[in-house]
Amino acid sequence: MSTSVAPPALVSVLSEIARVAGETLDLPEVFHRIATAAGRVLTFDAMTVTLTDAGDGFSLYSIGGAEVTDETRRAYARMVPRSEYSPGLWEMLTKAGVIDDVAASCDAGFPRDRELEGSGVRAMLRAPLHAGPGTIGYLSLLSRGARAFRGEDLALLNPIADVVAMAVAHARLAAEEKDRRRRYEALQALSPVLARALDVREVFDAISEIVQPVIPHDRMALGLLNEGRDAVRVYAVSGTGFPEIREPIRLSPAERARGDDWATEIVRDVAKEIDPDSDKCRHLSGDGIRSLLRVPIFFEGQWQFAGGLLFFSRTPATYGEGDIPLAQHVADQIALALSHERLAGEARRAGEARAEAEKLEKRVAALSEELALRGGFGRIVGTSKSWRDVLVQAAKVAPTETTVLLTGESGTGKEVVARAIHRSSARAAGAFIALNCAALPDQLLESELFGYEKGAFTGATAAKPGRIEQAAGGTLFLDETGEMSPAVQAKLLRVLEEREFQRLGGTKVLKTDARIVAATNRDLARAIEKGEFREDLFYRLSVFGIHLPPLRERPEDILPLTEMFLAELGPAVGRSVPGVSREAKDLLLAYPWPGNVRELRNALERAAILSDGGLITAAHLPIGVTRQDSPAARAAPRAGTGAATAANPFLPPEGVDLESLERDYVKEALRKTRFNKSKAAKLLGLTRAQLYSRIEKYGLEGGAGDD
C-alpha cells in the first residue's frame, strides 16, 4: 500500500537524506541510511540503486531496507551483463515509473528473471538518477505486495533520487581523484631509474614496465625531430620484435605545417585516421598498432619542442584526454635524462669524461627529483626559458658549498629555490633553517640568528642556540637580507669570513659549518651607494647569484602554476576545483601580477572558494585581475591624436574603439613579420597562445586579413 504524506514530512526526510549524503563517501552505507529515512514517507520492502553500464548491463550498486542483511548488501554490489536479462525485463528496467506486476515481464529462461521471481517482488517504483543531461541509473522501491505503488508516489521518490544521484556523482569524483593521485604516485619510481642512467635507451624497457599500469600500452617509443624538423628519428622502443628503423620517418605535409602544434596527438583508430600511404601508417600497421597517444618532449636549456613520447596499443580507442597529463609527466622526466646525455657527451669531448659525467649525474638526479615534485603536487613548476635557467643554475651550484644570493621581486619563489638547492646538495639530510630578516627588530633578529646566553637580556632565563647553530650540517636561508642593520651585517660578515660567531651575552667563540643561502628583493647596489648595506658583505653573499624573473616575464608558466595550485587548494577549501574557464585563463595571462607567484596563488584560493566546486570564471577572480586592459589598448595612440604615456594614456574627445585598435596592431604585426607568429607575438608583447586567440577572434587565420 502506498502512503500519502504531507509536504512538511517530505521536506524533513529530504533534509535528513542530504545530511547523510554529505557525511560519508561509503555509498552502501549512504544508501542504507537513505532507505531508512525514505521509509517514513513511502512503504516498501527494499530499496535498490542500479547504475547503467553504457547500455551493456546494470551495476547492482546497493540495496537497503529494514529486512535487508549485510550479507545481501555485499552480494548485491556487482555488475550484471544485459545478456542475463530477458528482453521484456530489460525493457521494463530501463524505464521510470510504476510497475504493478514484475512477474508479468519475467522469463524463467534468464538468470536475473528467475532471481527476481524467486525474491517474491511483485511491485516496483522506479525514479531516474540524473547526472547532467544523461541518466546514470535508477532508484527503485520494491514490494512483495501487488499494485503497492501509485503514480503520485513517484513525485515523492523523484527528489530522493536527485540526492542519491548527487551522492553517486560525488563518490565518483572522489574515486577519480584518488585514482589520479595513485597513478601519479606510481610514476615516482621513474626518478631513481632515470637518475642512474647515462643513456635513456638502456633503461627504456624499465621505464615502460613502470608506466604500464598507469598508461597501458603494447609498446612505447621515443621519437626525436631531425634538424630540418621534417622527419622523426626513432630513438628508443620498448619490447622485442620491433623491426629496426634506420631511416627517419617523414612527417606529412599537414604535420609539418602545424609546427609545434603537432606535439600532442590521440589516434583512436589508425586505420581510419592516418593516411594509409604515409610512412607512419606503414610502420604502425606492420606492428598491429590500432591506437596511439603522443606527447611532446622538450629539451632542458633550450626548452623547445624536440620530439615526442608515444604510447601504442593494438586495441582501438585505448587513450583519452585524461591520459595526457600523466604521459606528459613521463615525457618531462625523460627530457631531463636526454639533456643529461647531451651534457655528458659534451663533457667527454672536452676530455673530462669520467669526472664531469659524475657531476652531471648528480645534477640530473637533483633536477629529476624537483621535476617529480612539479608533475605531482610540489612547488617547482615552470616551462619558460627564464625559469628553466633558474633551475639549471640552482642544479649547478647545489652540489657545492658556495654561498648563494637569490634576487628578485617579492613572491617570485626565492625560498622555493633555496629549498631545492638544499634538497639537491650533500646537506639534504641536514636541517633547512629559514629566517626572515625583515620580520624582526634588530635586537631580536640578532638573538634569533646568533643565539644568546642565560642573562644576556631581561627574560633570558636560559641559554638558547641561534639559527646558525640549528643549521649545523645543513642550510641557513636568510630571507630579506637587505633589511639587516649595520651591526648584524658586521657579525654576519664574520661568520662568512671566519666561520665563527658568539652568542649574545657570551664570550665563547663558536664554529659553524652551515651553508648560507641569502635572498633579497632590494637593489643592493643602490643600498651600498646610500651606505645602507656593506659592500664587503655583498661580495661575500653574492659569490653565486641567481636572479628570479617576475611572473609577468614568464607568462607561459601562469597556466601550469594555476593547474598545480588548484590541485593543492582542493583539500584546503574542502572541494576539488574542475578547472578554469577560457575567459578566466585569458585574464590570468593578461594580468601583470605585481605580487608574482604568491599573488597568483592567493587569487586562485579566493576564486576556488567563490566557485563553490564549479569551474572558475572571470567573476570569481579579484577585481584587479578582471579590470586589466588588453596589450593593444595600452599601446601608443594613433598618429595625430596627441602624446600619451602608460601612466597617463591619451583619450581623444570622440573616444576610441579598443577592439578595432587591437585588431589593427595584430594585423600590422603579422604583415611586418610575414605572418611569422613567433616574431609577431614578440612585437606585440604577447605569448604565442595569446596571439593565437586574437588571430582567431579577429578572423586573421588565413593571412594578414582584409578590411
Q: Strands of 345-410 (E only): list them.
A: 404-407
451, 463 Cβ separation under 8 angstroms: yes
**pLDDT tier at 389, thresholds 50, 70, 90:** confident
pLDDT in tens, 64-117: 554 545 554 454 556 678 888 898 888 888 888 998 888 888 898 998 888 888
Judged against a pLDDT cut of 50, whether residue 364 lies above it is answered with: no
CATH architecture of 634-707: Orthogonal Bundle (1.10)
**Cα-based distances in Å from 608 to 269, 565, 579:** 38, 10, 9
pLDDT in tens, 151-160: 888 888 888 8
Same fold, 196-359 and 377-549: no
pLDDT in tens, 436-494: 888 788 778 888 898 888 877 877 788 888 899 999 999 999 999 988 888 899 999 99
Judged against a pLDDT cut of 50, whether residue 638 lies above it is answered with: no
Q: What is the dihedral of CA 673, 679, 685, 687, to 10 degrees?
A: 130
pLDDT in tens, 565-607: 888 887 777 778 888 999 999 999 989 998 899 889 888 988 8
pLDDT at 558: 92
Which set of grid coordinates corresponds to residue 495? 661568520
Q: What DSSP state is assigned to residue 143?
A: E
3-state class (DSSP) for residue 450: helix
Under 8 Å CB-to-CB from 12, ≥6 apart: which residues? Answer: 40
Length of the chain: 707
Q: Which of 688, 698, 702, 690 is nearest to 263 (CA)?
A: 688
Q: What is the mean pLDDT of residues 332-359?
A: 62
CATH 1.10.8.60 fits 552-626, yes or no: yes
Q: Which residue has the higher pLDDT, 110 or 228?
A: 110
| C-alpha torsion sign, points 420, 426, 431, 434 | negative
**pLDDT tier at 634, thresholds 50, 70, 90:** very low
CATH 3.30.450.40 fits 7-178, yes or no: yes
Q: Which residue has the higher pLDDT, 253 or 156?
A: 156
Judged against a pLDDT cut of 70, whether residue 366 lies above it is answered with: no
pLDDT at 549: 93
Superfamily of 196-359 according to CATH: GAF domain (3.30.450.40)
Where do the structural domains in the chain lie, given as residue ranges?
7-178, 196-359, 377-549, 552-626, 634-707
**How far apart (Å, rounded) are the C-alpha atoms in residues 315 and 264?**
20
Angle value at C-alpha 375, between 413 and 185, nearest 5 degrees: 125
Q: What is the mean pLDDT of residues 214-230?
A: 82
CATH node for 377-549? 3.40.50.300
The partner residues of 124 in beta bridges, in order of sequence, read 99, 142
pLDDT at 408: 92
Q: Strands of 144-214 (E only): list them.
A: none
